[in-house]
């Protein structure tokens, strides 16, 4: 498993991936953190290998922070998210969110459960969001509590969730 740290403005991505045959890459996970946080400093101090799609991800993160749609749904053809270890329910929920809730949109946990064909499973959807291994790419920051309240965010806390949603609200302004 290889690791790289990508910092853009206040945000950092700690990327973990594995090269595959035919020049493809499996993205095993992303930690989304504040660039000044201790996790980023610790990760940057370790041996790392440059992520093959580093500049693509940098450009997408920069677009996101400018309030422009980075279109994380269209990853390079030779890059895949490694969902093999996930249970079917988790995979279905994550894929529904990834392809069904666009930039600048939000849903509640209950709405996402219904969209995934699993009504009544809002709490289970919440657990899937809490363990999302690809925050930002699979936009769990767009999932809100039943009242529209910002709830936990594994990718850096509620403050980061708020920042990402504020940036997405800038779209078109």
Q: Is the whole-model pTM more than 0.85?
A: yes
Q: Is 51 in the same domain as 96?
A: no
Report CA torsion sign: 66, 71, 137, 76: negative
| Lowest mean pLDDT, pick from 34-38, 80-84, 161-165 | 34-38
**110: CATH:** 1.10.10.10
Clarify whether residues 71 and 19 are in a common domain.
Answer: yes
Which of the residues 122, 137, 140, 160 is marked catalytic? 140
The answer to whether residue 48 is catalytic is no
129/135 Cα distance (integer angstroms): 9
The answer to whether residues 93 and 66 belong to one domain is no
Q: Please indicate, yes or no, whether residues 123 and 76 belong to a single structural domain of this protein.
A: no
pLDDT, one tens digit per residue, over 37-47 is 888 888 888 87
Residue at a domain's end among 81, 97, 122: 81
Based on the domain organization, do 74 and 95 belong to the same domain? no
**Do 133 and 32 form a contact (C-beta atoms < 8 A)?**
no
Based on the domain organization, do 76 and 139 belong to the same domain?
no
CB atoms within 10 A of CB 127: 13
Same domain for 6 and 24: yes
Radius of gyration, CA atoms only, the chain: 16
pLDDT tens-digit map of 109-139: 999 999 999 999 999 999 999 999 999 999 9
What is the rounded average pLDDT of the residues 8-22? 92
**Which of 81, 97, 123 is at the close of a domain?**
81
What strands, in cross-sheet order, belong to the sheet with 24-34?
Answer: 2-8, 11-20, 24-34, 79-81
The domain of 102 spans 88-169
**Same domain membership, residue 137 and residue 72:** no
Phi and psi, residue 83, nearest 5°: -95, 5
pLDDT single digits (tens) 64-91:
999 999 999 999 999 999 999 999 999 9
């Amino acid at each position: 498993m290889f690791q790289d740290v990508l910092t853009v403005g206040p945000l950092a991505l700690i990327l973990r991936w594995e090269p595959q045959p035919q020049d493809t890459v499996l993205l095993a996970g992303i930690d989304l953190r504040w660039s000044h946080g201790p996790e980023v400093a610790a990760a940057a101090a370790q041996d790392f290998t440059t992520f093959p799609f580093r500049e693509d991800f940098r450009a997408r993160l920069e677009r996101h922070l400018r309030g422009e749609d980075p279109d994380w749904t269209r990853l390079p053809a030779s890059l895949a998210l490694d969902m093999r270890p996930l249970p079917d329910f988790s995979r279905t929920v994550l894929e529904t969110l990834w392809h069904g809730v666009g930039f600048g949109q939000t849903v509640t946990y209950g709405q996402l459960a219904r969209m995934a064909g699993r009504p009544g499973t809002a709490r289970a959807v919440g657990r899937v969001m809490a363990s999302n291994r690809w925050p930002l790419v699979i936009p769990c920051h767009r999932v809100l509590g039943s009242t529209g309240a910002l709830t936990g965010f594994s990718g850096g806390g509620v403050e980061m969730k708020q920042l990402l949603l504020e940036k997405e609200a800038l779209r078109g302004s």
